[in-house]
Structure 1
Amino acid sequence: MKSKQIWRKARVISMAEPAADVRMLTFAVDGLQSAFDPGSHTNIKVMINGAPAIRTYTVIPSAPGTLSIAVKLHPNSRGGSAAIWRMQPGDETEMTEPENRFELSWRASHYLLIAGGIGVTPIYGMAEALAARGQSLRMVYGAKNRSLMAFAEPLQALLGDRLQCFSQDEGQHLDLEAEFSALPPDAEAYICGPLGLLEAARDIWRRSGRPMSRLRYEVFGDNGRFAEQEFEVEVAGYGRSITVRADQTMLDALTDAGVPMIFDCRRGECGLCAVSIVSATGEVDHRDVFFSQGERKENPRICACVSRLCGGTLVVDTGYRREQAA
C-alpha cells in the first residue's frame, strides 16, 4: 500500500552548493502548477549501479514551475546522494508532485524550529513561511561546523536574532531542555535532524508534560550506526532467502521478490512496514523513529523501509503465507 503519486518529467536547470557537502539542484518540471507547502517532499528517479531507483527528498523554496532539492553527499548512503551529485544541467528525469506529511499547523502562538545538519531542508521553508506571515518564531540550527550549515546566510538575513547557530567544533551545543522550558504553553516545536537529536527531543518534551501532538519531527535517511552492507532475509512461509543489496532497502528487496508488504512513509515514521524478527545472525541497525528505545533494544520488530542487518541473515515473519496467497 502506498500513496498516490503523480509523476512528471523534470530537467536540471541550475546547480549550487549551499554548504561544503551539500548540492542544490533546481529542476524545471513539466505541468507543475500548484504551489507546495513547506515541509513537502518529492520522489525522484535515479540510476544506481545501472539500475533504476527512487529516492525521496524535501523540496525547498523555488520559483513557480520548478522544484529544488538540497542533497548531502553521504559516504555510507545507498547511492542516492551520489546519483544526485552526478547530475548536470540539462539532465532529464522524473519527479512526483510534492506531498506533505510534515505540515505546519498554523495554530500555535509561537514556533520553535530545530535543524540538525541537512535536516535544515524542511525547516528552511517553514522559517520563510512563518516569517512571511509575521508569526512568532525562533530557529536553532546545529552542525559539526559552520561550513556545513546549508542556507545559514539567507536564514540569518531573514530571521536576524531569531536564529541561533551552534557549531560542535567550536564547543557549542544545543540545550533542548532550556529551549523547551522557555516556550509558552501553546507553542509548537518542529524538528528535523539525526536520530539521536529526535530521540532526545521526544524524551525531554515528554518529561516536560507538554502534549506530544505539539512536537512535530521528520527523520532523514543517514541515521545508521553502521555502513550499508549486503545481508540475507528469510521470510517465514515464503521458502527462500532474499538478498538485500547494500544500495537497497529491505522493503524494496521484499516487494521486488513478490512478498506482499504494507507500507507508506518509507522514512521509518509510520510503522506500517514493520515486521516481526524471528532471528538474526548479525546486529540489527534500527533507523526508525516509530519504535521507542526500549522496543528497539528488545528487538521484536523491524521497520523494513529504513532499518537493516549488519551482515548475516535476518529471519522475519510478515504474516505472509504462500498457501494463503494462492
Structure 2
Amino acid sequence: MAVQTQTRWQRARVIEVSDAAEGVRRIVLAPERPEHAAPGTHVDVELDVGNGVRRVRSYSVVRSADGGRRLTLSVRLSPTSSGGSAAMHRLRAGDELTVTAPLQNFPLAVGATRYVLVAGGIGVTALVAMASALRRRGADYELVLVGRSRAVMAYVDELAAEHGDRVRIHVDDEGTPLVVDDLVARIARTPAAAGTELYMCGPIGLMNAVSRSWTEHDLPATNLRFETFGSGGRHPAEEFLVRLPDLGREITVAPDTSILDALEAAGVETLSDCRKGECGLCLAKVVGSTGVVDHRDVFLSDSQKERSDRLCLCVSRAVAAPAEAGGGPGAPAVLSLRLT
C-alpha cells in the first residue's frame, strides 16, 4: 500500500453535473466539512474504477463558493480511460465520494509587478480562480488560453466575458496557435520583465517549451510557477512490463494505468505524494530497459531524462523500442526497476 502524506479525507455529495466543453464534465461537490478553496488548490478523490480497484486522482478546484460549500471540478475524459476520468464522468447528482479537504501545491503569490497565466487544454481548471482573484485585486495580468479547437476548451466563453481584453485565445484549428517564443520574448522585452510571474498548467510539451524559452530569455527561474497532471507524453500509452529484481516480481502495466497504480494493486509498497510528476517522492532507479522510457514528469531535468536512469512511478511509462533499434515485433517493453 502506498504511503501518502495527505490524509484529511471526508465525504462529499455531488450536487450538480453538466458539460463544460466537448468531453469535459463540470462536477459540483458539497463536502461534509466545508473549507474555502484558495486559488491553485486541488482535491484528491478516491474512486472505484471497477473490479474492486480503488485509485486516487487529483482535480483542481475551478471555483469555490459559499465558503467552500460548493466546490466545482472539471474533468476531461481521457480517450483511453477506464479509470479515473471515466469514473468521474459516470457521476450523477446525489452520488457520494470520498475526497480530501482542499490541498495547496500551486499558490498564487501576492506582490508581483505583472502576472501571465498560461492554460493549455484542461489545464485551465487550475487557473480560473487565479484569474478571478487577480481581477478582484486590480492586478496587471494576462490570461492565455490554448487549445486544439474551441469546442474542447472548457470555460473559454465564460473567461472571455469575465476578463475581456486581458484574455488571449490561441486555437490550433483556427490558425492561431500559440508561438511560445513570441509570448516569452514579449514578456522579456517589457520594463516589468523581472517582476513578472508566469503560472502555467497544461500538457507536458507546452510547459517544457515555456520553461526552455523562459531560461533562454534569462528570466528569473523563481518567477515561473506550474502545475501538471502528467497526462501527456512523447508516445501513445501502451502495455509494458515492470520487473523488480530485488523482490522477484514482474507486473504488467496496462495502457490506462500508471506504474504506481499497478504496483499498489499488486501489493507492492511505494512512497508517493503528488501523483502528478512534480514532487519526486516516487522516484525509482532504472536498472534495465528493453524499450524507451517516456518521461511525463516535470521533476527531472532534461539531462536526467536523457540518461533515463531514474523515473517517476506516478506518470512515466515505457514503449517498445522501434525495430531499427532492436525492438521485437509485438513484444512489450520491459523496465527493470529498483524502488528507492
Cα distance, 1:232 vs structure 2: 2.3
Computed over aligned residues only, the root mean square deviation of the Cα atoms, in angstroms, reads: 1.7
Give the Cα separation in 1 of the matches to 2:264 and 2:220: 37
Contact 2:36 2:65 in 1 (8 A): no
Residues 227/80 of structure 1: CA separation in 2 closer, same or farther (3 Å cut): farther
How many residues are aligned here? 318
* Superposition map of 1:247-326 within 5 A: 247-310=256-319, 311-319=332-340
Give the Cα separation in 2 of the matches to 1:127 and 1:192: 13
Residues 71/31 of structure 1: CA separation in 2 closer, same or farther (3 Å cut): same
Cα distance, 1:285 vs structure 2: 1.8
Give the Cα separation in 2 of the matches to 1:258 and 1:75: 28
Residues 83/306 of structure 1: CA separation in 2 closer, same or farther (3 Å cut): same
Equivalent position amino acid for 1:18 in 2: A
* Superposition map of 1:164-179 within 5 A: 164-179=168-183
In the alignment, does 2:29 pair up with 1:55? no
Picking from 210, 231, 237, the partner of 2:246 is: 237
In the alignment, does 2:198 pair up with 1:194? no
Name the counterpart of 1:323.
Answer: none
* Superposition map of 1:105-254 within 5 A: 105-183=109-187, 184=192, 185-254=194-263
For structure 1, list consecutive stretches of 5 or more residues without a partner in the other structure: 320-326
Give the Cα separation in 2 of the matches to 1:59 and 1:70: 8
Question: Which TM-score applies when normalising by structure 1?
Answer: 0.92
Give the Cα separation in 1 of the matches to 2:38 and 2:166: 22
Farther off after superposition, 167-176 or 252-261 = 252-261
Give deviations 1:257-278, integer Å, cap 9, x for gaps. Answer: 4544332211101222111111
Question: Which TM-score applies when normalising by structure 2?
Answer: 0.88
Name the counterpart of 2:328.
Answer: none
* SS of alignment partner, residue 63 of structure 2: coil
Equivalent position amino acid for 2:248 in 1: G
Equivalent position amino acid for 2:301 in 1: S
Farther off after superposition, 279-288 or 129-138 = 279-288
Give deviations 1:169-228, integer Å, cap 9, x for gaps. Answer: 011121333322333221100011111111111101011111111000111232134444
* SS of alignment partner, residue 127 of structure 2: helix
Identity of aligned residues (%): 39
Cα distance, 1:256 vs structure 2: 4.5
Contact 2:6 2:273 in 1 (8 A): no
Contact 2:118 2:145 in 1 (8 A): yes
Cα distance, 1:96 vs structure 2: 0.7
Farther off after superposition, 111-120 or 212-221 = 212-221
Give the Cα separation in 1 of the matches to 2:127 and 2:79: 24
* SS of alignment partner, residue 182 of structure 1: helix
Contact 1:137 1:162 in 2 (8 A): yes
Equivalent position amino acid for 1:296 in 2: K
Equivalent position amino acid for 1:315 in 2: S
* SS of alignment partner, residue 260 of structure 2: helix
Cα distance, 1:63 vs structure 2: 2.1
Residues 268/78 of structure 1: CA separation in 2 closer, same or farther (3 Å cut): farther
Equivalent position amino acid for 2:95 in 1: D
